[in-house]
A and B are shown apart, each in its own frame.
Chain A
Amino acid sequence: MTSNSLVYLIALPLFGSAVLLLAGRRSDRWGHILATVLSGSAFVVGLVQFAQMLGRSNDQRAVTQKLFSWISVGTFKVDASLMLDQLSICFVLLITGVGTLIHIYSIAYMSHDLDRRRFFAYLNLFIAAMLLLVLGDSYLNLYVGWEGVGLASYLLIGFWNQKPAYATAAKKAFVANRVGDLGLSLAIMISFATMGTVSFAGVKEQAGHASTGALTAIGIMLLIAATGKSAQFPLQAWLGDAMAGPTPVSALIHAATMVTAGVYLITRSNFIFDAAPTAQLLVAIIGAITLLFGAIIGTAKDDIKKALAASTMSQIGYMVLGAGLGPAGYAFAIMHLLTHGFFKAGMFLGAGSVMHGMDDEVNMRRYGGLRKFMPITFATFGLGYLAIIGVPPFAGFYSKDKIIEVAFNAGGIKGITLGGAALLGAAITAFYMTRVVILTFAGSKRWDDKAHPHESPALMWLPMVLLAVGSVTSGIIFTHGNSLQNWLAPVVATSPAHEGELLKPAVVSILALVLVLAGVGLAIMKYLRKPVPSEAPTDVSIFTRIARRDLLQDDFNEAVFMRPGQKLTEVLVATDELLVDGAVRGVAHITQSTGRTLGMTQTGFVRSYAMWILLGAIGLLATIWVVTL
């Protein structure tokens, strides 16, 4: 099937971005409305595509559109063409839907910012790049979108770049992403070298004939790409700092969409990972490590956005774990991705709403008792909270429990370890999310009298409400009759085969619920029963300190990469100056002095030149004299 309207999905927001950036200050008054309308139009196009897709049989649903022939060098041919299949449409609807809601939210949230137009230009640019990422029909097309979202993320994290710390955060995110991007480009190169193609369809076809070694190499490179973009261990350090960007950005890019690109990449490349078990196991292990890593950091953060960022990291860990579990887990990884897109975006918007009411205060220890002042924010945030900790029948329950269950069912020590990590993560998640909610909305007030907490305007709470509805209902919709699993089946080859089940689904659910309740209870004991100091206590255990320092991720990077790198640079600079420059200067010096010396023969006086002629004639005569002797 081909379609001519796919390009509009990308073209509409790209056009908006171009108009806003090129028109400059002239579009200050109407730029945000244009951007929102264009984003909404892209959503409508996506909905139309979705409706058409629903009308076709399951194996006829993918549509493609060839835009132009991009690269044609020898046997290497890449078309700039788009492909919309069952997997892409999930992302298209998530990106444009949540994106449009966040556009609407930002109109109010950024209303006092002088650069609101630029903000919306970047937002539209992001939407376009992200759509290109999920619509590209080859790794190379995906790569363009991949870099595009990296750029948009960089621009938006550093949106308030008048603060050096924020600009540094943007740079950090960009550099960490570059490390991952290197993995993606290497994966593309290996794939071309071994299979001669970079399109998804072509690689899928060739994957059966390629050697396991090559596939494992491609898989590991893709995993590195995913860890960079999705803030997974060991490239996770940038996500916390990325919270420097405006809160809508954190909600859209660093919670709902861009950071899940890694999960998309792994799921899209299922044919590679299924043929490379080592790489797949590595994916699962990375996911398990990150979900615990993020959860532990989340318990120690007092900054509401950083706590949510740690939570995002942890939840994406769940998705990556799911994607690493093979055909059994892909659908649930995507499901968790979608539900997470709803509840985490909703909670970020809630956090933004709280900050909006509290004069941009982000320290949760300065909040307390806000539920009376911000009822709608509290309600939507609370629904998102219930969804993330996995209370039935909210969305997170369905998606997360499925991942835990599949992890246990992976079998053997692998299953127990991964499943155990996921279960433990669920308990910690319950603890730190309860802590966030209690510190923010419950307890006694700890803010200054200067702050006047108030509910946000309708433009802000309306998106929050819609997202909360999504957090409540999406889980039921996706699991009703295994709808999402069946929907994705043609793309990711789901295998609901539960041979040798270790634990029955009900057992997993009960176990998870018990642990979640334990986490919630512990948090209530610690933060609701006892008064919370408005300054973070300093007489804490070494574990708390390490957790507060993000489990030493930055210290590790600095010690292992930065300082040796600096030393290496210093040595190289010294070498360059002494050896290379020395050689160059030496050559220059020798040339110069030779030139000076020879230049002394060039007096400019014609008589001295005549003298040289005479000497030459003498030389000639002397030669004749000697020869004829």
Chain B
Amino acid sequence: MMNLAIEVSKTSTPESVLFWILGPACVLAALGMVLAKKAVHSAILLASVMIILAIFYIAQDALFLGIVQVVVYTGAVMMLFLFILMLVGVDTSDSLTETIPFLRPIAILSALGFGGLLITLIGRATLGHPMVGLTEVNIEGNVPALSQLLFSKYVWAFEVVSALLVTAALGAMVLAHNHRLVARPTQRDLSIARFRTGSLATAAGLPNPGVYALHNAVDVPALLPDGTPSDASISAMLVARGDVLESLPFQLPAKGGDE
């Protein structure tokens, strides 16, 4: 009997291996997500945390949730995140200097305290408690068992949540709907506006990025007639990401001069 209890409360060895590899990886990825300077990196790291969690779910006999985690979270939600990131601008990288005094040390200290309290509490709550396991419940398979619960005991919550989903979809549409205050400017309007700004520097349009015999790419600044590279020829996004090449190597050697 005693032996059995121990047997049940313990997980199997392959699962231990899985946990001890993926667990630290998961925590590290989460830390990386918080520390990453660029939002895109955060998103990728979050996606990896979610996938690890999906594996954990499956390892813990929650097959349906694991699949849903991958499909809904890692698939849909994270795509949504990335999509919004692109929309808002990937170039808006966070400056990491803190504006609110003492917020960062307090936050780290309190998060440590929070985690510590939580872990000690969990330790206290589960130590000595035998683990039941889901083998018995999942005898007909995880999905039918879950659906039975969902459509009997939790059917009311299920309906309410479906209403919530519809509402959220509508709400998002309403929020995202851009009500134009003025008519969309036509090409003609833009052209007129360009000439009316006073300076005629941009009247003919901004210069194209560098196009050279050896090399042409959007990440190389164009050379102005006097030989200086023009910042205006490069997309601001590339400048923000630092993905700009030097134009110097592509310049033609100065004519005559020394020779």
In the complex, B252 has a CB within 8 A of chain A: no
Size class of the contact patch on chain A: 10 to 19
Closest-by-CB residue of B relative to A622 is B117
A449 to chain B, nearest CB (A): 90
Q: Is the pair A621, B103 in contact by a Cβ cutoff of 8 Å?
A: no
Q: A603-B100, A605-B100, A618-B113 are in contact. Are A611 and B118 (CB under 8 A)?
A: no
In the complex the two chains form, is A621's CB within 8 Å of B106's CB?
A: no
Taken together as a complex, chains A and B put the C-alpha atoms of A614 and B99 apart, in Å, by: 19
User: Which residues of chain A from 153 to 192 have any CB-CB distance to chain B below 8 Å in the complex?
Assistant: none
Query: B120 — nearest CB in chain A belongs to which residue?
Result: A625
CB within 8 Å of A: which B92-116 residues: 99-100, 103, 106-107, 110-111, 113-114
Q: List 6 A-B contacts (CB under 8 A).
A: A607-B103, A611-B103, A614-B107, A614-B111, A617-B114, A618-B113
Q: Is the CB of A625 within 8 A of B100?
A: no
Cα–Cα distance between A523 and B64 once the two chains are bound (Å):
132
Q: In whole angstroms, what is the CA distance A615 to B121 when docked?
A: 17
A621 touches B100 (CB 8 A): no
Residue of A with least CB distance to B106: A611
Render B173-217 as a binary contact track against A, CB cut-off 8 A, 1 for contact. 000000000000000000000000000000000000000000000
Which residues of A does B touch, CB under 8 Å? 603, 605, 607-608, 611, 614-615, 617-618, 621-622, 624-625, 628
CA distance A625 to B124 in the complex (A): 9
In the assembled complex, the Cα of A614 lies from the Cα of B114 at a distance in Å of: 8
B121 adjacent to A621 (CB under 8 Å): yes
Q: Are B117 and A625 in contact (CB under 8 A)?
A: yes
Select which of A603, A605, A607, A615 is within 8 A of B110 by beta carbon. Answer: A615
State how many angstroms separate the Cβ of B145 from the closest Cβ of chain A: 32
- Shortest Cβ distance from B114 into A: residue: A618
**A618 to chain B: which residues have CB within 8 Å?**
110, 113-114, 117
Chain A residues with Cβ under 8 A from B110's Cβ? 611, 614-615, 618
Q: What are the residues of chain B within 8 A of A628 when measuring CB–CB?
A: 121, 124
A residues near B107, Cβ cutoff 8 Å: 611, 614
Residue of A nearest to B99 (CB): A605
CA distance in complex: A154, B134 (Å)? 103
B-side contacts of A621, CB under 8 Å: 114, 117-118, 121
B121 touches A608 (CB 8 A): no
CB neighbours (8 Å) of A615 from chain B are 110
A625 in complex: contacting residue of B99, B111, B121, CB < 8 Å: B121
Determine the residue in chain B with the shortest Cβ distance to A625.
B117
| Known contacts A614-B110, A622-B117, then 9 further A-B pairs from the complex at CB < 8 Å, ordered by chain A residue | A605-B99, A611-B107, A611-B110, A614-B107, A617-B114, A621-B114, A624-B121, A625-B120, A628-B121
**Closest chain B CB from A612 CB (angstroms):** 10
Instruction: Give the chain A neighbours of B117 by CB distance below 8 A.
Output: 618, 621-622, 625
Q: Closest CB of chain A to B51's CB: distance in Å? A: 27
Nearest first, the 3 A-B pairs at minimum CB distance are: A621-B117, A618-B114, A625-B117
Question: In the assembled complex, how far is the CB of residue A609 from the closest CB belonging to chain B, in whole angstroms?
Answer: 11
- Quote the shortest CB–CB distance from B224 to chain A (angstroms): 44
Interface string of B120-146 (1 = CB under 8 A from A): 110010000000000000000000000
Quote the shortest CB–CB distance from B34 to chain A (angstroms). 13
Give Cα A625–Cα B117 distance, bound, in whole angstroms: 7
Chain B residues near A608 (CB, 8 Å)?
Answer: 100, 103
Q: How far is the CA of A605 from the CA of B101 in the complex (A)?
A: 12
Q: Which residues of chain A come closer than 8 Å to B120, judged between CB atoms?
A: 625
The distance in angstroms between the C-alpha atoms of A603 and B107, with both chains bound, is 16
CA distance A603 to B124 in the complex (A): 38
**Chain B residue at smallest Cβ distance from A614:** B110
